[in-house]
Structure 1
Amino acid sequence: ERGGEKRNAVLLVDFNFKTIDDLCRRVSLGKKGYVYIIDESAGNIVYHPQQQLIYIGLKYENVEQALKYTYGNYLDSSSGDMRLITIATVNNIGWKIIGVSYMDEIVTAKKEIGGFIAWLLLFVVVFVLLISAFMSAKISQPIRRLERSMSKVEQGVFDIHIQVQGDDEVGRLSRRFNYMVARIRELMGQIIREQEAKRRGELEVLQAQIHPHFLYNTLNSVVRLAGGGKSEEVITMITALSKFFRISLSKGRTVISIQDELEHVRNYLIIQKMRYKNKFEFAIEAEPEVLGCRTLKLILQPIVENAIYHGIEMMADEGFIRITAELVGEKVRLQVIDNGLGIPADKLERLLTGEAASGEGSSVGLRNVHERIRLGYGEAYGLEIESQLEEGTTVTLWIPAVRTEGAEER
């Protein structure tokens, strides 16, 4: 503009075509896609990667359609292949940059991306499942271990202990479970000890009741013998009675030698034979190696007493009682055999079970001895009874063969 007069002018700018080509080729629109540039006024092609083909007519671009858009995209099939045309306008210089993408490549890329995403999702799902299984196992394993331990407790197994790791809820629960089981074991042991002590006390009371009654009957017999002038028999009975109570006392011990136990029952039989005026005979047979073994005291006398009172006393013929002691393996077998009236089968089954009727006094002494042996030595020992009516009864006592002099004295 000069002196208020306007003149039209043309500005020529020389661009390096190779620079434009390099910039446009950097745009990746698939293997066949490309970018070309036109001006926005007449649609002249400023740059095209296949410029020569355009000039000789072997390549056609639908620039008329592109001129209708400033920005956007549309589908074009004028060249025979379905293409996606994307347009952007450079306002400062009036150019339109047109991107050409072939739909078959876009679909193929979409499938590849879809396949990749599918495999990625599958991998993520498998990974999440593995992590979930691992975490679930870490959480549920202590719970299952606690459940198995509880099942054992339900079955009566209390000698268990759970190894506790961590301070989470399951760890605290396991520690409380261990404390509970230990407390149950302690209480059960205490109850067993209390019940055994109570039962021993009851048995000792029952045993103590035998002596006054026997002493009363024996002294009555001594009085009758003395009144009849039978001084030798009085001396024999008083001597036997003295030895009987000496062994009964045993300085407070409840474990004595089998030799003393046999001597004790021998004196008892001497007294009873004199009281019953020789109604029965007796014999005591013992293997020498058994005499030094240890036994609970006063286990034979109640059995012999039962044989006399319920087996021989009511017999018309003379009775016979045989007592044997022998070693059988690691056990000692003591037997009291009589030829008395025998025991009925229905009553025989109840003698040691505690189901005998209250009036059946014969079962009290037998159960007393049976329970004392089981309390002292365990469930593997005790009494066995065999009997036939009118033929007699055999009572077998099993105790362990304890030969040491330092055996426990209760």
Structure 2
Amino acid sequence: MQIYKLFMGKKHNTIGKQIIGIIFFTIICPSIIFYWVVVKKYSDDLLQSAIKDRQNLLTAINRSLSLQFDITKELSMMIYYDKSVKEYIDNGDYSSIPNNVKESLESITNSYISVDSILLCFKDNVYTYGKTFTNLNEIRLKYEGDIIKRKGKSIWLPTTIMQGAFARKPKDYILSRAVNSKDGMVAIMYMFFSSDSLQKIIANPLLNKGGSSFYLLSSEGQVVVSKSEKEIGKKVNIKLPKENFDGNEGHFFIKDDSGSERLISYAKMTDPHWISVIIDKKSEILFDVNNITKLAVIFTVFYLAVILLGNIGIYIFIIRPITRLSEGMDKVGNQEFSKLKIPYGGNEIKYLTERFNQMSGKIRELILRVREEEAEKNEQRLKVLYMQIGPHFLYNTLNSIKWLAVLNKQDTIRQMIESVMKIMNGVTYESAQDMITIEHELKLLDSYIYIQKVRFMGFDVYYDVPEEILNYKIDRFILQPFVENSILHGIRDMQAGGAIRIVIRLHDEKSLQVDIYDNGKGIEKNEEINWSRERKDSIGIKNVRERIYLHYGNNYGVVVENNPDKGVHVKLSLPAIRKEAE
């Protein structure tokens, strides 16, 4: 990851990207092809060989098991067709059992080690030869319906843990069939065979290789026989989906609870309908492949490390200095003139870097000189603009005082003069301060509005300014020209009901939004505000626009438009500047 960032983490590192591309297509890609074509081919061959071996082994085991079950079935038929037994069954009296029948059944039980018990279950009587089991009724309740449906044909019951008066609980698989007389079914026979008799069949050395596990499972997933005696008679501890056993034999892969992948090989038997299963960990089958894979990975990593170390040297002495030069050019374009570090060695790149630093320094000096000259010009221009406000406003104010003095010889004149003094003080004597608080600006505006209300009595001004932004700073007398414009050109001819509303909001953390609405006559469709016109009635608005541009640039400004219903809407976008704590 660090190497990747070294070569790819910078905007201008085209050479680094090209080197990474060369490494990828000449080293990494061949390594991946080697792994997938050679190692994976070997892995697939080994896996297919293991699957084939297990299928052959399962076929051989099933053949041996089928032979064992055929012998067991023949044994049950010997009992069924024994002359004494047959006469007893056809007789119809089952209240007791003759000695010759007992001798036949006991002889079979004693002669065959694998036979643990033989039971004849009549309607009211159960006759047992061999071991007596206390959980027989559970078996009868569970399977008797299926046995009767077979109408005398044999049925195999999976290995069950038997209960009785003995220390070691036997685990027996069961052969059962209905016993029929001339008049129909009269009893059910159960023959219990020790699962130990099947252990010799599964004691194949190939099943003990590695971590292979063999199971003979009933159709319900119950273990009939297994290498582990503890699992016999229980459900297999690995979930094996029934839908995967869709053929007579085959294999599939599953993941156990730990996330390990396992190979499941199976082969079905025809009678009984049990399934032989071998379960292997895929990692153990591919143990040799995994070792080869590890060696291939180690070799590839070592090879890549050597190649990358060489390229790091190329990066340090060639790519990084070129990248710095490219980034330095971008910075110069953004008016950042920091010096570049001189690279190691005495090659052409070092020479270029030294010349670049010299060029960058000269450009910086030129830009600073131009900025100083431009600042001086702007300062002189601002002074002229501020001086334009006083005469223009004073003309209108004195005109109002003149008419008031002519018409009314009252104390109102004093108030008007005081208002004029406040305004002149704000414009003239405080001119050293370019910016004042919004609160101060609104007080100056109130003085101006008082004077205009004496002249034009049919209007009111409303403020909507949150208290928390009163301490934000704006240019002096930036709102007055727009209020004046609303009065003189919008509502002066209205006898009553004229209204001007001033709304100031913090638009975001960086800007203020000032909205001035009036309900006057609005702007005529054929009239267009032209900021370049040197008209007496537009000089104040034009002045505000130029002040905003000179102080804050093109990101802020003024928009004048008609209200949707009536009047004019002025929108000022200003920077949000907080008053510094004193």
Give me the TM-score of the superposition, normalised by structure 1: 0.54
How many Å apart are 1:251 and its aligned residue?
Answer: 6.4
1:266 maps to a residue whose letter is: D
Unaligned stretches of 5+ residues in structure 2 = 1-313
Map residues 89-108 of structure 1 onto 2, 5 A cutoff: none
- Which residue is 1:181 aligned to? 360
Aligned counterparts of 2:366 and 2:565: Cα–Cα separation in 1: 50
From 365, 370, 375, the counterpart of 1:191: 370
Unaligned stretches of 5+ residues in structure 1 = 1-135
* Structure 1 residues 328-349: Cα deviation after superposition (integer angstroms, max 9, x where no partner): 442433222112333367876x
SS at match of 1:333: strand
Q: Residue 336 and residue 388 in structure 1: after superposition, are their counterparts in 2 closer, same or farther (change >3 A)?
A: closer
- Which residue is 2:459 aligned to? 280
- Which residue is 2:574 aligned to? 399
Query: Is 1:302 matched with 2:481?
Result: yes
Report if aligned partners of 1:340, 1:390 keep a CA contact under 8 Å in 2: no
- Which residue is 1:366 aligned to? 541
- Which residue is 1:271 aligned to? 451
Report if aligned partners of 2:517, 2:569 keep a CA contact under 8 Å in 1: yes
Query: Is 1:230 matched with 2:409?
Result: yes
**How many pairs are equivalent?**
269
From 410, 414, 425, the counterpart of 1:246: 425
1:271 maps to a residue whose letter is: I
Query: Is 1:385 matched with 2:563?
Result: no
SS at match of 1:241: helix
Report if aligned partners of 2:426, 2:444 keep a CA contact under 8 Å in 1: yes
Q: Residue 250 and residue 243 in structure 1: after superposition, are their counterparts in 2 closer, same or farther (change >3 A)?
A: same
Report if aligned partners of 2:504, 2:512 keep a CA contact under 8 Å in 1: yes
Segment drifting more, 336-345 vs 236-245: 336-345
Q: Residue 316 and residue 181 in structure 1: after superposition, are their counterparts in 2 closer, same or farther (change >3 A)?
A: farther
Q: Residue 400 and residue 228 in structure 1: after superposition, are their counterparts in 2 closer, same or farther (change >3 A)?
A: same
1:300 maps to a residue whose letter is: L
Report if aligned partners of 1:341, 1:389 keep a CA contact under 8 Å in 2: no
How many Å apart are 1:226 and its aligned residue?
Answer: 1.7
Aligned counterparts of 1:226 and 1:379: Cα–Cα separation in 2: 45
From 376, 381, 391, the counterpart of 1:212: 391
SS at match of 1:252: coil
Report if aligned partners of 1:341, 1:390 keep a CA contact under 8 Å in 2: no
Q: Residue 222 and residue 204 in structure 1: after superposition, are their counterparts in 2 closer, same or farther (change >3 A)?
A: same
How many Å apart are 1:262 and its aligned residue?
Answer: 0.4
Q: Residue 176 and residue 325 in structure 1: after superposition, are their counterparts in 2 closer, same or farther (change >3 A)?
A: same
Aligned counterparts of 2:543 and 2:342: Cα–Cα separation in 1: 48
2:443 maps to a residue whose letter is: E
Aligned counterparts of 2:523 and 2:337: Cα–Cα separation in 1: 44
Q: Residue 391 and residue 189 in structure 1: after superposition, are their counterparts in 2 closer, same or farther (change >3 A)?
A: farther
2:414 maps to a residue whose letter is: I
Q: Residue 190 and residue 253 in structure 1: after superposition, are their counterparts in 2 closer, same or farther (change >3 A)?
A: same
Q: Percent identity?
A: 33
2:557 maps to a residue whose letter is: G
Aligned counterparts of 1:232 and 1:361: Cα–Cα separation in 2: 31
Report if aligned partners of 2:562, 2:569 keep a CA contact under 8 Å in 1: yes
CA RMSD of aligned residues (A): 3.9
How many Å apart are 1:244 and its aligned residue?
Answer: 1.3
How many Å apart are 1:259 and its aligned residue?
Answer: 0.8
Aligned counterparts of 2:525 and 2:362: Cα–Cα separation in 1: 46
Report if aligned partners of 2:325, 2:340 keep a CA contact under 8 Å in 1: no
How many Å apart are 1:393 and its aligned residue?
Answer: 1.6
Give me the TM-score of the superposition, normalised by structure 2: 0.39
How many Å apart are 1:164 and its aligned residue?
Answer: 2.3
Aligned counterparts of 2:424 and 2:416: Cα–Cα separation in 1: 12
Which structure has the larger Rg over C-alpha atoms? 1
Aligned counterparts of 1:305 and 1:264: Cα–Cα separation in 2: 13
* Structure 1 residues 107-136: Cα deviation after superposition (integer angstroms, max 9, x where no partner): xxxxxxxxxxxxxxxxxxxxxxxxxxxxx9
Report if aligned partners of 1:287, 1:327 keep a CA contact under 8 Å in 2: no
SS at match of 1:386: strand
Aligned counterparts of 2:334 and 2:506: Cα–Cα separation in 1: 37
Report if aligned partners of 1:342, 1:389 keep a CA contact under 8 Å in 2: no
